[in-house]
Structure formats: structure tokens, C-alpha cells
Structure 1
Amino acid sequence: MGSPFCGILVDKIGPNIPLCVGSLGLELALFMTSLCTQYWQLMLAQALLLGLSMSLVCCPPLGVVSRHMPHRRGLALGLTIGGSSIGGVIWPIMMQQLLVHHGISFGWTMRAVAFKMSPLLAFACLTVVEPLEQPSRAPSGTAHVTSHVTQQQPIEEAEQKKMEDAAADGESKKADLSFLWKPTYILLCLGLAVIYFGLFTPLFYVSAYAIDKGQSLSTAFYLLSAVNASSFFGRVGPGHFADTYGHYNLLIIFTLLSGIVGFTWTRATSLGGMIVWSLAYGFTSGAVMSLQNACAGKIAPLRSQGAAVGFLMGCLSITALIGVPIGGQILKHSGYPALSMWTGATIVVGAAVLGVARFTLDPHLFAVF
């Protein structure tokens, strides 16, 4: 929930200070977590300090990369956020090996994570910088509109181009938050917030589902790694094609596919079926997580890319927080089939809202947005 504040901060003072402060906060949170012996201490170190620090670390790269490459925003942001998918494969395996197979204590395992993160965070602090010159064009995808539709550019796109050109020419030095009141942005946040009620549910329960179906603890654990591994390709590949065929168009398509895969969760009962399902869900849900940032940045001026991403993440943090516990109660009272329905239904309903957001930009079905 600290992301909106961080996004505005990135637009006003640049990425370096928030990223450095967030990196120090992450390190401190992990080292303090290694010393915790009571629940309230974990709440302070792991929940409060780590969560706030994560918002300071996540927003600067997304906002700055979007400013660097507005022409290839989908691919650039897909590669940027795809890093978390790689981390989602490496970190759980590393921690399981330390904790379970080598018998390392919890405290030293957390310290090992902190030491491993130090050079990675230092590299990010040194390399995430603002572009020397602001790109002088409107968002990606606009150049392709004329080849697909004959109608004039929507008012929203024309307004954005004007704002971005002004920013590129140095005429605007302050973050412009007028995009927050655009119907497209409001519907985008609303639709994705509904999606996040159920989007993370399989990530928390896919291993437990595999154990419930008779798989070993070790095998069930690696299903989550399979989800994260395929999520990398889902974040990068669709982002590349979205730069040509429209970020909103691809976001809606992959959101619907993710909802369909969610509905089929409990039809995967064998190990092979669960592996295929995990790969499919990781790919489609990864595309959703990647393209959401490109869609937010598409309707905001270049000087406000950090705020556009930050306010979106702030909205999603609320439903992502309460969605998984709701899923847990559904599982407790109604079992995995109902949990599968919850996952699929929330994603499909959110996709419908995203469709409305897309048609506020252009009512023509085959327009590139």
C-alpha cells in the first residue's frame, strides 16, 4: 500500500533515493527477521518493514523502464518484472535446501538470503537511472492503429500524446496525476483488483492440492517452481506481441485464458496433469502481471509513469491481501472444487471489466490498444 507514495516520489526526485532506501530496508528487515522469536516481532520486521521496503524497490524500475522505452513498453516491462519469476524459482529451492536438506537454522537461512540479495540490490541501485532525454513519442501501439482501423485517434490517445510531447520538450517538470480520473484508468484498477481476489490463490494452494491428491511433499513443492518458471515466459512473450497488437487487447485475452485455466484446476488429478496445469496457469497469469503495468503506463504521461504504476499496485495490494484468506475459508468449508470456481470466476469477471476499460479507448473491436 506504500506504492502510490513511492510512485509519486520516483516521478518527483528520481529512482535512486527510493531504491537505495528500499534496498537498505529490505536488508534490515531480513536480518531482523533472522533474530525474531515472537510473532509481534515478525509482524514488525517481515510484514511492516519488508512490505514498505518492497514498494520502494519495485516501483522505481517499473516507472523508469517505462519512461526509457515507451515504444516497446510491453517487452521492456515484461523483461523487468520477469526477474521476479526467476527469483520465484531460485529462492524457494534455495531455502528448502538450506532448511530441510542441510538442517541450517531459520536464522542463518534468512541471513544467507540477505547476503545473497546484497549484490543484486547494489547492482539495481547503480543501474536504474532516468533516461538522459525523454522519448518524444506517444505510447506504443498507436503507430499501428491506422493499419487496423480507419477511425480517428481517440481523444484519450491524443491528450496523452500532447502531455508526453510536453514532457519530452521539458515543458512539464511535475508529475501530472490527471490520469487518475480517467474512466479507463479507474476501470483498469477496478478490473485488476477483482482479478487479484483469485489470481494468487493457486500460488498458495497448488502444493497443498498436490499433497491432497497423494503426491509427496517434495514433488508438490516443485509445482510452485513450475508455475514461476512458466510465468517468466508468460511475462516476456505476450509483452513483446502486445507492443504490436495492443496491450489492452492482449491483457484481456490472457486474463480470460487464465480464468479458464483456473476453472479447470481440479480436473488435474495425476502428476502429469498437475504439471501441465501449473505450467499453463503460470504462463497465463504471468502475462496478466506483466501487461497490467504496460496498460497503466499507456494512458499516463511520461513524467507520471511511476505514479501510474504505484497507484495501480496500491489498489491491487488490498484485494491481493484479502483474496487468499477468503480462498482459505472457501477451501475449509467447501473444498478444492469451490476454490477452483472462486479462482476462475474472479478472474473472468475482472476480465469483463477490463473489456469495458478497453472499449472506453476505442469502441472498434480490432483497434490496437
Structure 2
Amino acid sequence: MTDPSDLEIELAQLNKLNTEKRKSDVTVQTTVVPSAGNRVRRAPADPGPPPDGGLHAWLTVFGASLIAFSTFGIVNSFGAFNDFYRAQYLSNASATLVSMIGAVQVFILYISAGFVGPIFDAYGPKYLIPASGITTSFSLFMLSIVKPHHIYQQFLCQSVLFNIGAAFGYLPAMSIVTHWFAKRTAYALGIVLGTASLGGIIIPIMMNHLIPTIGFGWTVRIIAFVVFVFYAIASVTIRTRRPRKPLPPLLHIIDLRAFQDTRFAVFTAGAWLTIMSVFNPFFQVGAYGIAAHGADPLTPYLLAIMCATSIAGRVLPGHIADRLGRFNTIVVSTAISSILTLSLWYSSTAETNVVVFAALYGFASGPFFSLLPACVAQISPPDRIGARIGMLFATLSFGALAGTPIGGLFIREITVANFQHLILYTGCFGLAGSFVLLLARLQCSRRLLVAV
């Protein structure tokens, strides 16, 4: 006869084995979180849907906005650098060559994003943003000591080094917002990219007031210090929601498979046509003001006016796009900005008309910049958003590189007639881009009266 105590021991062993089996069937992903006790925080592989709000979400938007100011805000300010270079530092260089500094800026920033995107998807923003802050600040300090009439120094510091560093901050700043917002993605990104326009207002005004007083070198050093402080704040406020994952093989860093998605491929083509022309008014409106009515008191502020209304054009339509459709909004706004270029800018010679054009164009072109990443996020898998946004910008880099210098070829002399050729080129490419963007929208839905 079996001893009851032996039966109890066997039952206890069976229960222990069943418990261990159930535990082995559960996979838990762990993330090491550096802290005082080097504790391990357990986090699910899928963090769930974005919360669309909350303290951490809005702190992330705040930090991303500071990075947008420090990167694309400086790129948006190139019109002020362009005017200063052509008048003083690089007066011996052609207008086309000087405008190439701005074009190469955008090219380097965008093409670098193609490599940064997959790195961000794998590791998040933790290391990318501090590296970006150090590189961009250093490049601006180097720009502050360049010598006049040595244009290669501007290319190395302002076009190449600054924008390689900026790409490691700018793309993660945009992509991380899509991890926190779903229904309000366009609105949140509009706030971030609206801050880039704010940089396009503040930095030209700083330059116009500080350069005559303390010189170009110290003015750029002050900008570099502001950038360093903003990055330090952003490194603290930006949070990630997704766990780390392995970095893809080197051959798969560039996500060419994204173009197998017809919606993404057609959307990229439309954005490429638009990017060929959309920067021309930002880079040339100040010079056009001088050609049309001389150096009037408002002429130095035309770029600031355009960037000021661009803030509203990036934030308010973003809120509307979340309701009426992001693809719908980007198509309509791109068409309107092109029509304004062909009608109002082409015929504007009086100072008042140029100011009105600058204000309206800034607002109408704003949604194009803020809705690009929102549209890509809408048609992309969540774990590939960074890679696809990077792929989009890498493709657009070639249009940005070619578009502004081609426009500069029309301006052999600073005359209204030469600028009108540039205006026709800008408006026609914009209309072509809006048409192809419409085709991309129809790829998402053939029904016209639905939010897409």
C-alpha cells in the first residue's frame, strides 16, 4: 500500500513541473534601464496603440520642436545667409554658386535621412540626438571662423558637416512623434515643423541686427550656443515607446522594398516634383524684393514674413488634415501655393504685393512640409515608419539639390524679367507635383468625398 506522504510529494513535483512549463510558454522581452540600482524593466514587445496625448507625448513634441528649430530652422534661414554672402563674404561668386550652398544643405540633410531611418527604427533616438547636437554645434562654431571669399569653407561647414549632423536629429524628431500620436499625427507634426519655420523668422532677424554690431563670426557663435542648449533640453524630454531591435544588414539599410507599395512610390514622385520648386520663394524672395522695388525697409523681413505665416500653415492645416484627410490636404495646399506663384508673385512689383505674396505663399506651402511624414506614416507599417520617411527624404534630396540651382540659372542679373522666368519654372513644377500627389491619393481611395 502506498504511503500518503509519497503521494503528496509526487503531486507537489507534478504541480512544480506544470508551473515551470507555463512560465516557459510566456516570452517576455526585457529592456535594461540604466539607473541607480541597474534594475531591469520588463516591457512588452508591442507597446500598443499610440496614446494620442499625455505628459510624455507632449514633452516629446516639445523636444522634437527644439530640434526642428535647430536643424531645419537654420536651413529655412538660408535666404538671410544668401543675401549676406552675395553682398559681402562671397561677393566674387556667382548667384548660382552661392545658391548651391543652400541646395547642398537640403540634399545632405535629406539623403542622410535614408541611412538614419533604419538606425532609428532599431535603436530609437537615445544616441542619435546627442550625436546630432554635438555635430551641428561644432559645425556652426567652425562656420563662425571661415574666411571671406573662400566658398569651399561654407560648403564644408554649412552644407556638409552641419547637415550630416542635423539628419541624425531631424529625422528621429519627426519619426518619434508618430510613435506617440495616431489620430492627431498631422497636428503634432505640424507643431514640430512649425517650429522650424519659427527658426526661419528668428535667425534672419538676429542676423540683420547682430551682424552690423558684432560681426558675422560672433553672430554665428551665438546661434551655435542656442542650438547646443536646445539639443540638451531635447535629449531630456524626448521619450521612446518601442523596444530596441536588431539593426538590419547593411544591404537592407536602404529600404528599396518600400517602392513596391504603389501608394508610396507615386506619392514620392509627386513630392519630388514639388521639392524641385518649393524652396525657390524662400531662397529668392529677398533678392526679388530688391529687384522689384529696391532696398525698402520691409525687404529684409520678407523671408521672416514668409516663415511666420508658414508656422500657421504647418500647424492649422495639420489639425484640419486629421479630420478631412492628410492626402486631401497636401494635394489642395500644393496646388494653391503653385497658383499663387504663377498669378500673384509673377505680377507683383509693388512692395505691398510682394509682402502679400510672401505671407500667402508661406501659409499655403506650409502643409507640404508638415504632411509629408504624416502621409508616409499613414501608409506604412509601424515598425518601418522611420525607414520609409528616410527613404522618402533620400529620394527628395536629388530634387532639392537640382531645383534651387536650376532656378538660380534664370537670374543672371537681378532684374524682374529674369525672376519671372524663375517664377514660371517654380509654378509649373508645383502644379505637376500636385497632380501626381492627387494620383497617389487616388491610389489610397477612388472615392473623392472621403477623408484620406
Pairwise TM-score range, normalised by the shorter structure: 0.7 to 0.9
**1:54 pairs with 2:166:** yes
3-state SS, counterpart of residue 226 of structure 1: helix
Contact 1:173 1:303 in 2 (8 A): no
Higher relative contact order (CA 8 A, sep 6+): 1
Q: Distance in 2 between matches of 1:57 and 1:250?
A: 27
Q: How does 1:136-215 map to 2 (within 5 A)?
A: 178-215=257-294
Paired position in structure 1 for 2:205? 93
Q: Distance in 2 between matches of 1:217 and 1:311?
A: 43
Question: Mind listing any 5+ residue stretches in structure 1 that lack a counterpart?
Answer: 134-169
Structure 2: tracts of 5 or more residues without a match = 1-110
Cα displacement (A) at 1:268: 1.8
* Contact 1:187/1:356 (8 A) holds in 2: yes
Tell me which amino acid in the other structure corresponds to 2:198. Answer: I
Distance 1:213-1:39 versus aligned 2 partners, 3 A rule = closer
Shift of 1:269: 1.9
What's the counterpart of residue 144 of structure 1? none
Shift of 1:106: 2.0
What is the rounded CA distance, in whole Å, between the counterparts of 2:246 and 2:185 in structure 1?
Answer: 22
Task: State, as a whole percentage, how many aligned pairs show the same letter.
Answer: 31
Q: Summarize deviations over 1:316-364 as a string: whole Å, max 9, x none.
A: 2211121111111123386122211111100100011111111111111
| Match of residue 301, structure 1, among 381, 391, 406 | 381
Superposed, 1:315-326 pairs within 5 Å as 315-326=395-406
| Conserved? CA contact 2:134–2:228, under 8 Å | no
1:73 is aligned to 2:185: yes
Instruction: Describe the superposition over 1:254-279 as per-residue Cα deviations: whole angstroms up to 9, x where unpaired.
Output: 01001101112121222221111111
Say what the alpha-carbon RMSD is for the aligned residues.
1.9
Q: Which has the larger radius of gyration?
A: 2
**Does 1:261 find its partner at 2:337?**
no
Q: Which moved more, 1:323-332 or 1:63-72?
A: 323-332
* Corresponding residue of 1:113: 223
CA contact 1:95–1:109 (8 Å) conserved in 2: yes
2:130 aligned residue (20, 23, 30):
20
TM-score using structure 1 length:
0.85
User: What is the DSSP-based 3-state SS (H/G/I as helix, E as strand, rest coil) of the residue aligned with 1:16?
Assistant: coil
Number of paired residues? 330
Task: Give per-residue Cα distances to partners, 1:246-298, cap 9 Å, x unaligned.
Answer: 10001100010011011121212222211111111000111111111111111
Shift of 1:39: 3.2
Aligned to 1:344: 427
Residue 173 of structure 1 deviates from its aligned partner by 7.8
Supply the AA of the counterpart residue of 2:387.
A
Equivalent position SS for 2:341: helix
What is the CA–CA distance in structure 1 between the aligned matches of 2:225 and 2:234, rounded to whole Å? Answer: 15
SS in 1 for 2:298: helix
1:212: how far off? 1.0
1:174 to partner: Cα distance:
7.6
Q: 1:49 and 1:336 mapped to 2: Cα distance?
A: 31
